[in-house]
Chains A and B, each alone.
Chain A
Amino acid sequence: MKHIDAATHTRGESQYIDDVPQPEGMLHAAVFGSPIAHGRLLTIDLDKAREVPGVRTILTADDIPGENQVGALIADEMLLAESTVHFVGEPIALVLAETPATAHKAAQMISVETEALPVITDPRVAFEKGEIIGATRTFVLGDVDQAWKDCDVVVEGSCEIAGQEHLYLETQRARAVPREDGCLQIYASTQSPYAVQKGVARILGLPHHKVEVDVKRLGGGFGGKEDQATHWACLAALGAQITGKAIELVLPRHQDMVMTGKRHPYSSDYKIGLKQDGKIVAYEARHYQNAGAAADLSPAILERTLFHSTNAYFIPNVRAFAASCRTNLPPNTAFRGFGGPQGMFVIESAITKAAETLEVTREEIQLKNLLQDHDIFPYGQQVHDANIRRTWQEAEKSFKLKNLQKRIREFNDNHFEKKKGFAIMPICFGISFTATFLNQAGALVHVYTDGSVSVSTGGVEMGQGLITNLAKIAATAFGIDEARVKVETTNTTRVANMSPSAASATTDLNGNATLAAASEILQRLKSFAVKELNLSHPERLTIEKETLLFEGKETGWTWQKLVQSAYFNRVDLSAHGFYATPGVWFNKDKEKGHPFAYHVFGTAAFEVTVDCLRGTYEIDKTKIVHDLGRPMNELIDRGQIEGGLAQGLGWMTLEELKFDDQGRYLSNSLASYKVPDVFFMPDDLEIKLLENVNNTWGPYGTKAVGEPPLMYGIGVFFALQDAMRAFRPEMPLTFDTPMTPEKVLMQLHRDEIEGFKTDSDVMADHQEQPVKETE
């Protein structure tokens, strides 16, 4: 089934918040953010800005009627700064004006007096200073301290893992419209309508029911609108409440980049011990997460780093420690993978280093240690349906990886400055929110008398194909044509208390809730029909292709007739369904439990070519075998795999966040922050789905697909390193991401660099040049 919205998307008719016709008298908002990364806020001068024609009013923290707080997990983040600012871009004032241009012009005329405080950008420095958010966490399995002595080799080292800009093409935005009796309607580009509802209610001091949040679709989210869409919706709501006018707030790209958090950079240490034969005996990791200036979702993300700290491997002795460190960067937040990718990068680095020491290939160690059924993760859960070996073997076989490697070796023997590299990346990703209570969902299903169906759930459509999946699930459940089903906007008045659309679990949870609602209606319809048809055993009735069957034989009733007759006989054609993932739990005191309903597995192989003269490279081939369970909608699922992969590849290669030591974000535009473009992605990309796999947890045996494929991208780092080693075998291995062409060249030609001295005097002459070369 094709994406339901695809046709209107291609026609430019799909509406995003600011495409919808504007309410009468709507005002536009612009945010003034802190110019410094840390300091006391002494005065705010709004006079000049107020004089700009077209400006209606300017709001600051003093104007907030409720609680000035947007911290979701920990109450440590204000909507508008009061006495202190903690990162560059932290919102201080909100300008409301007749046009967006006026609002932005006025915002630029606001000035503040500040008293600078020390700026921390490095998580290890923050850790040493005790700037730790929440509790540090340690997962333990076996006894690493005892195990080191059983190892034939022990290697250790560290990794610097960069963050990542979400770069959803639609920047953050919201529109707030005042309704009668002090109510507000909020149209937000959010993955978490309930978080927006709660946030607005808290800021304005209203009960939740006075705030209605409605979400049609997002122009991309990727985690960046899970928690951080709330701020902008709250600001719009604040403006609406105070002015009585509709307010629209759209962040320009540059502000979106400066003001919002990103994937967390991590600084991590590893120590790994192995037997001579490559069996991993013990692994220790210490993760210092750069959380930015406030908690946001960092503690939850930290936890997932630990959950995935051994990736797809079984290691009997593990100690993984993680601390969330407060720095003066924008509060970092959810991003596809949610901390998992960082944990996986570190174990992959450790394996690479170990392979070097043992003088074997990475793949030998990887393969030897892949999970098998009933192995135990450091968090106590046993792995079931461990398909990881199957995906690996399938990849080796279908893609003839041995041949591929042989051809790579031949290529390298025959070329001097061009070198090819190879790597395999197995992944294992746990599905469920690790905060157990979030694994619940509601759905509201109506059947109308013409037989058409309306489905509302708590899930948000952000391109991932959720509404298409839901339509398919409902249509399959009812046995009717997909065209009869409409999936509605996500609205807090139709489904309450929804969990965010995240953790890859949106289709699982909301699909199962939809199924629950549909089966309730079906039950009522069938009980009614058996009576009318003078039959017994309602469970022997089925609907196929819109026809009511009894024990497989036609009853003469169509879906339409069934629905209509039921209506005239006063059968309720609406139902609310609820789903809570069974069997998941986690005990934080013991750091043990069964946090995941199931795991997703897969294996990717990469071939790259590095131009060792210029430091540039190309990804030639990506070959993937992925475990989707029993896919319900291959077109959409493949799209998720391809898109996730692209983000993973970008994260490992081009996407470089640059902050200076004063916490100023330098790569603050698309001109300086580079994401994969059409040239960058490999033409030779093959994805095979693992066949004959079951999954009891997803609707109709499907498996979640949103996040796991991103982590395939990690493999490209090691493939590039492999190619570089072919040019310069003695090159020391370092694990700093992303592997930009700059890093490639600098690592390949360290000797040459030593050869020249940069003339510091000449350089000083030009230091005045602006940092941002727009060109």
Chain B
Amino acid sequence: MPEPLHFILNDKEYETTLPGGTLVLDFLRLHARFCGTKEGCKEGDCGACMVLVGELDGDTIHYKPITSCLMPIGEMHGKHLVTIEGLNQQNLTPVQQAIVDAGGSQCGFCTPGIVVSLTGYLLQRGPSFDDVAVKYALGGNLCRCTGYASLKRACTEVAHRFEHNGDDHTTRSGIDHLRKLIEWQMAPPYFESIPSRLQALAAANPTNGQQIDGPLIAGGTDIYVQRGAQLPNTEVRILGRDSGMKTIEVHEGDIHVGALTTFEEFATHPEIQKCIPGIVSYNLYNASWQIRNRATLGGNIVNASPIGDMTALLLALESELLLQRQGQTRTVAMRDFFKGYKKLDLQSGEILTEIRFAKPDRDTLVHFEKVSKRKTLDIASVNSAIRIRCKAGSIVETALTMGGVAPIPLLMKNTNDFLTGKPVCSETVRGAIAVALSEVSPINDIRGSAEYKTLLVRQLLIAHFSTLFPKQITVREFYETH
């Protein structure tokens, strides 16, 4: 019998013995009957089920909006779970009021989720809503009624009100930030007591460290989409409850990334931004902020989808994977990890703990391209990453990867060989295209026809080179006849 779970639900300490795999959404709607949280898709795509999860960090706390439809209740242990009901105060909060005033709610079904996301944004970053911030904050919320224009106006209104209210755009975390939001009535007063209450909760309920034998859950954003019907009644092993696997460290020119690092943590880390200067913009096209708050790099790799975005990038960085089972550790080169469609060099019970790659040197450029039907919150038709080292105008070494064109995330071996030693010019790219086309084997599926994906292989190669070497290579050169 697993230990009961202890957490704070809105303003109340809560204990439950539900199986740890139970979805937070089901727990809220069916058990706790907090019905402000809605179910729109149960796949992480609509945001109607959005909740905030607050996690202690020393004596302060960090809140993130997360889709409760892909999050197991076991994950809540020791945390603060906030639903729309937990944000309500006697008067409407400034976010709620602005949505009302701007006509940002029509049928209302998406609205609680939108309020939660926006409040989550405020808790993380303050009310500095500009066009970009609004989209960031609402990237994981669909609204079929409003067309978003009124919601954008509502956010602008919130930003206006609080610019004149002493927001210096700096205090964005820590207890002071929280106090300020409480003062502005963006969050209810009880939030201030949460950090100490969570500490007390942890002290009163020490875990016995017993590990549950069950399916591994990292962020849950893949496994619950695929097995959402079976997992909720079972115990699951929540990797986040084991310690570690979350740090990003630099060791002698190598970057070590814990497998539980989320997309968002990865892309906002200063070391990573140095290695991959475009990471923030690439990441914007990966899922949504809300999903990126949960989706882990390890999950992306082990899920073994041929179109995993971070996988494509990490493969181009020629990462190594550290795998652990019962104290035994081994290392596999990522290029050897993928054996076939969703087949991995991973034994049962083995956990991916860390991803390592060499820090790109000054002559190395890294770039990522992704084409999907909808630019944001969509799975790629084809994605591609490249790491390329040039000296004196010629290519010394390169690793190009393509996703969505083979049963596995593909390191384009022949193309890489072809490119090595060649000068950086359009002629080289033309040659590379020919080799690349012989290396890929896309199929017709929901993400596009095989022909389309084949064409994208060509296009993305041109895109890589014309983006990385705009002086030497222009797109025009590939369309001479036009």
Contact = CB atoms under 8 A, between A and B. Distances in A.
Interface of A is mostly: loop
Contacts of A741: 371-373, 381
Contacts of B256: none
Interface string B107-146: 1111110010000000000000001001100110111111
A276 interface: no
B265 to A, nearest CB: 21
Given A169-B110, A642-B147, A677-B377, A9 B455 contact: no
A775 B407 contact: no
A253 to B, nearest CB: 5
Contacts of A175: none
Contacts of B144: 166-169, 220, 222, 643, 646-647, 675
A188 to B, nearest CB: 15
Contact of B43 (A167, A671, A767): A671
B225 interface: yes
Interface in A637-685: 638-639, 642-647, 654, 656, 658, 666-667, 669-672, 674-681, 683, 685
Interface in B413-450: 437-438, 441-443, 445-450
Given A6-B99, A753-B451, A763-B441, A169 B105 contact: no
Nearest to A618: B375
A13 B96 CA distance: 12
A526 interface: no
A363 to B, nearest CB: 25
B48 interface: yes
A105 interface: yes
A10 interface: yes
B103 A2 contact: yes
Contact of B371 (A8, A616, A638): A616
Contacts of A728: 482
Contacts of A15: 35
B282 to A, nearest CB: 14
A613 B374 contact: no
A220 B109 contact: yes
Interface string A609-647: 000011110000000000000000001101100111111
A749 interface: yes
B458 A752 contact: yes
Nearest to B115: A10
Contact of B149 (A108, A170, A642, A775): A642
B452 to A, nearest CB: 5
A756 interface: yes
B474 A670 contact: no
Given A416-B476, A746-B451, A775-B379, A219 B371 contact: no
A99 B305 contact: no
B45 A670 contact: yes
Interface string B365-382: 000010111111111010
Contacts, number: 293
A241 B235 CA distance: 38
A11 interface: yes
Contacts of B147: 642-647, 676, 681
A759 interface: yes
Contacts of B139: 677-679
B445 A769 contact: yes
A169 B373 contact: no
A742 to B, nearest CB: 5
Given A683-B152, A773-B445, A2 B107 contact: no
B145 A643 contact: yes
Given A13-B36, A222-B144, A674 B105 contact: no
A494 interface: no
A493 interface: no
A14 B475 contact: no
Given A658-B446, A676-B147, A681-B147, A635 B103 contact: yes
B255 to A, nearest CB: 25
Given A10-B96, A12-B37, A463-B108, A674 B378 contact: yes
B13 interface: no
Interface of B is mostly: loop
A692 interface: no
A774 interface: yes
Contacts of A752: 455, 458
A464 interface: yes
B456 interface: yes
B465 to A, nearest CB: 11
A462 B85 CA distance: 23
A769 B443 contact: yes
Contact of A775 (B33, B232, B303, B459): B303
B374 to A, nearest CB: 4
A769 B377 CA distance: 23
B151 A678 contact: yes
Interface string B143-162: 11111111110000000000
A669 B43 contact: yes
A10 B375 contact: no
A373 B103 CA distance: 35
A654 B96 contact: no
Nearest to B288: A677
A686 to B, nearest CB: 10
B441 A464 contact: no
B128 to A, nearest CB: 17
B122 to A, nearest CB: 14
A674 B482 contact: no
Contacts of A9: 105, 108, 111-112
A674 B463 CA distance: 25
B185 to A, nearest CB: 14
A24 interface: no
A416 B475 contact: yes
A468 to B, nearest CB: 10
A43 interface: no
B61 interface: no
B83 to A, nearest CB: 7
B150 to A, nearest CB: 6
B106 interface: yes
A389 interface: no
A762 interface: yes
B4 to A, nearest CB: 21
Given A19-B35, A758-B450, A775-B379, A766 B407 contact: yes
B146 A219 contact: no
A182 B103 CA distance: 43
A169 B451 contact: no
A643 B106 CA distance: 9
A613 B463 contact: yes
B107 A678 contact: no
A635 B146 CA distance: 11
B470 to A, nearest CB: 12
A646 B148 contact: yes
Contact of B45 (A671, A683, A762): A671
Contacts of B296: none
A669 B44 CA distance: 11
Interface in A723-775: 727-728, 740-742, 745-746, 749, 751-753, 756, 758-759, 762-763, 765-769, 771-775
A168 B107 CA distance: 9
Given A220-B106, A756-B454, 19 more contacts: A7-B96, A9-B105, A12-B37, A16-B109, A21-B33, A166-B144, A218-B107, A219-B107, A613-B459, A615-B459, A638-B150, A642-B150, A646-B146, A670-B41, A742-B373, A762-B441, A766-B441, A769-B445, A773-B305
14 contacts: A101-B233, A168-B109, A170-B109, A219-B38, A219-B107, A615-B371, A636-B103, A642-B150, A647-B144, A679-B376, A680-B374, A741-B381, A763-B450, A774-B222
Interface of A: 2-3, 5-16, 18-19, 21, 99-101, 104-105, 108, 166-171, 217-222, 252-253, 416-417, 462-465, 613-616, 635-636, 638-639, 642-647, 654, 656, 658, 666-667, 669-672, 674-681, 683, 685, 727-728, 740-742, 745-746, 749, 751-753, 756, 758-759, 762-763, 765-769, 771-775
